[in-house]
Structure 1
Amino acid sequence: MNVFCASGLVDAGITKVPRIFYSPPDGFDRAPADDFDIPLIDIDAVEKNPSLRGSVVDRVRDASGKWGFFQVVNHGIPGSVLEETLEGVRRFYEQDAEAKKQWYTRDSLKTVVYNSCYNLYAAESADWRDTTYICMAPTPPNPEDLPLECRDIIIEYSKQVTKLGRFIFELLSEALNLNPNHLNDIGCADGLGLLCHYYPPCPEPELTLGASTHTDIDFLTVLLQDHIGGLQVLCDNQWVDIPPVPGALVVNIGDLLQASETTVALMNRCKKIVSLLVLNLLVVLFNIQLVSNDKFKSGQHRVLASPAGPRLSVACFFTTGMIPSTKMYGPIKELLSDDNPPKYRETSVREYSLHYNTKKDHAASALLDFLV
């Protein structure tokens, strides 16, 4: 198992990156650091002074429309919880290979799925990272089904990030001029999956990527990243760094929030989500870009490989996953008019996810294939 993990290659002492990790150039330049500024939003201001809620909603609307990304501070999750979450993930990954072997699988039906190069058979190149997916909602796993090294903190962090996610959905609903409960009422915050990434130091970072260019096929992603950095979002055909801010969480819009009227009813067991790890993840709602009819943007993003590390991150996807439903979804009707007709045809979560899974190039959003 160990030799197939990016971290296993590093442990083996390699000095050259294997060709399966080579990433083709995308032709986009890296933006000068001073030219762009990813919005940093203090959401505690809403609690301290309700009169500021309108200005916070305006900032969320602007960030979601231009970038599809913003960072939040004073979000209510203690710094100690954030730090222990990252340390719990580190403890899991830095066990010896034999101890981790019980969790290593490509069977996406399991509650905990640990592997590396999960997109090896679907993408042009493999990503330089190890990945563990844990399904936490709608039906929480039994604690004994989670790795002991991070069990307690994963459970606690999931509870707190769910509360935060529901609040962010309120702000997003208001940013769309909808009832504050609209996105929560259609189930956007009901499902939660955690994707824990471990990016080992790379001997030739210019040849590969920690995470290839993609958009997230969910409604919303809340990302906890450590101090090393490397996350970038594409804006105006330039790669813009999203620098780590102590205590901040990165929020990004998923494809489905860009475009659907409602979310599918969740499965009885979240672990029935099919092939979720094959769907090049990083921000997962049945697409906020889709349901918002492009009022919000699902930003293309990637993670650079680095000689420093390991880099740690935990991405929380608010998602219904890929479920066997024939229910159809399209842009929210309240957002449509003669001047703003639907941009996307109706589709089901299953159809969209299966289509995404067939694409080798995730740099281009699968939403383009669902335009009216």
Structure 2
Amino acid sequence: MATAAAASLVADASNGSTTYDRMKAIKEFDEAKIGVKGLSDSGADTIPEFFRHPQSSLSDLKPVRTSVAKGIPVIDLSSLNDLAQRPKIVQQVKDAAKTWGFFQVVNHGVATSVLDSTLEAVKNFHELPHEVKSKYYKREEFGGVMYTSNNDLYRSSAACWHDSIQAWLSPMPLNEEDLPEVCRKEVVAWNGHVKGVGEAVMELLSEGLGLDKGKFKELSFPDVRVFVGHYYPYCPQSDLTMGITSHTDPGVVTVLLPNEVKGLQVRHDGEWVEIEPVHGGLIVNVGDFLQIVSNGEYRSVEHRVIANGSKEPRVSAVVFFNLYRWREGDVYGPLPELVSADRPAIYRDFTKEEFNSNFYSKGLDSKSFVDKIKIVN
């Protein structure tokens, strides 16, 4: 069934029809529940039209800089609890969050075997037979467990070549039985490990702003966690589409565990820099919410994933951290402690409704919300 559905879906890519119904094609793809993995497995040498991106967004796919020396900072956390060494680590994290918005952490306390088993579990889920995996396919973005292709499939101007399994880890306790058995134990374990890393990083980020190390935890910044296991299979026309289009993350902090297949690129000084994953490392990036509440001290930067042209799948386990308790009236803005006569607020206050509707009403994009609430003098 999956192979037949894939064959039907890719036929539109080369039939030359002038009556192409984009929304009909998207709906057929969605209802087939085969994901891009199913399209890739079909052996087709073309991709459906709705995956093709405009040439203007594909012209700079090759990064300008790939050198590890010129890549995002790599920060060693092995001396995190050494009072003499901690200020140095705080400064490194602060500098990275200000200049790059991205950094890798190593010696973070999570065994490499745990990292490897987490990635293997994500891979194993996505490589389940269609009839097993499709039982989890749905589009309910709030709460529970969801397998899908392109969360923003119906909102974006062009689809991207990736599938995902998503699980809300907190604040509501996850019903472990909702997770597929093939990755259940690993995702549950990863929640505990990544929570510890995320909280440690947030302490460092808080100290970097001159705040108490527990300030972000007090504000509930680590308390909403969403797990996403991305899978980027081989794409037969990787020069015509994207793995994930250029965007910034909306929340507080994102912690990413990638396998060793490259593809993640970060925009820095007007150029795209390809990230070289460090085995055993975790990639951390600043979200829009943290840029705003830090009053622009930390930067949420554009990043993207190019479509995978290699036979080896690219796999990543991502956890998005966001706050749980909004302030009275569901209003947030730059933290008062970071606003002064010398450094006035550069963003206006915004509501919880504004924040959520901005993300869930459109496809992924770059910093539209940050730009929207910036105070223009």
What TM-score range do you get, normalising by the shorter chain? 0.7 to 0.9
Select which of 52, 57, 62 maps to 1:22: 52
RMSD of aligned Cα (Å): 2.0
Could you list the per-position Cα deviations for residues 135-193 of structure 1 after superposition, in whole angstroms to 9, with x for gaps in the alignment? 11112212211110010111111101101111111100000000110111100011111
The residue identity in structure 1 corresponding to 2:341 is D
Matched, 1:307 2:309: yes
Could you list the per-position Cα deviations for residues 242-289 of structure 1 after superposition, in whole angstroms to 9, with x for gaps in the alignment? 11110000000000000xxxxxxxxxxxxxxxxxxxxxxxxxxxxxxx
Structure 1, 161-170 or 133-142: larger mean CA deviation: 133-142
Could you list the per-position Cα deviations for residues 55-75 of structure 1 after superposition, in whole angstroms to 9, with x for gaps in the alignment? 111110110001110000000
Matched, 1:64 2:97: yes
Alignment of 1:277-288 (within 5 A): none
How many residue pairs get aligned? The number is 340
Deviation at 1:18, TM superposition (A): 1.8
Matched, 1:339 2:342: yes
Matched, 1:248 2:308: no
Deviation at 1:125, TM superposition (A): 0.7
Deviation at 1:118, TM superposition (A): 2.5
Matched, 1:78 2:101: no
CA 138–297 in structure 1, closer or farther in 2 if over 3 Å, else same: same
Residue pair 2:245, 2:364 contacting (<8 A) in 1 also: no
The residue number in structure 2 matching 1:166 is 199
Alignment of 1:361-372 (within 5 A): 362-372=365-375
The residue number in structure 1 matching 2:37 is 7
Alignment of 1:170-185 (within 5 A): 170-185=203-218
Residue pair 1:322, 1:350 contacting (<8 A) in 2 also: no
Determine the C-alpha separation between the residues in 2 that align with 1:30 and 1:322: 39
Deviation at 1:365, TM superposition (A): 3.3
CA radius of gyration, larger in: 2
Deviation at 1:52, TM superposition (A): 1.0
TM-score between both structures, scaled by the size of structure 1: 0.87
Deviation at 1:321, TM superposition (A): 7.7
The residue identity in structure 2 corresponding to 1:13 is G
Q: Which runs of 5+ in 1 are unaligned?
A: 259-289
What secondary structure does 1:257 align onto? helix
The residue identity in structure 2 corresponding to 1:12 is S
Residue pair 1:137, 1:192 contacting (<8 A) in 2 also: yes
Determine the C-alpha separation between the residues in 2 that align with 1:110 and 1:102: 17
Could you list the per-position Cα deviations for residues 298-332 of structure 1 after superposition, in whole angstroms to 9, with x for gaps in the alignment? 01100011221211001101124899x94100101
Determine the C-alpha separation between the residues in 2 that align with 1:98 and 1:137: 29
The residue identity in structure 2 corresponding to 1:94 is E
Residue pair 2:150, 2:160 contacting (<8 A) in 1 also: yes
Select which of 296, 299, 315 maps to 1:297: 299
Determine the C-alpha separation between the residues in 2 that align with 1:76 and 1:185: 23
Residue pair 2:74, 2:103 contacting (<8 A) in 1 also: yes
CA 170–321 in structure 1, closer or farther in 2 if over 3 Å, else same: closer
TM-score between both structures, scaled by the size of structure 2: 0.86
Give me the identity figure in percent. 38
The residue number in structure 2 matching 1:37 is 71
Determine the C-alpha separation between the residues in 2 that align with 1:68 and 1:351: 23
Determine the C-alpha separation between the residues in 1 that align with 2:202 and 2:322: 13
Matched, 1:350 2:353: yes
Deviation at 1:294, TM superposition (A): 0.6
The residue number in structure 2 matching 1:281 is none
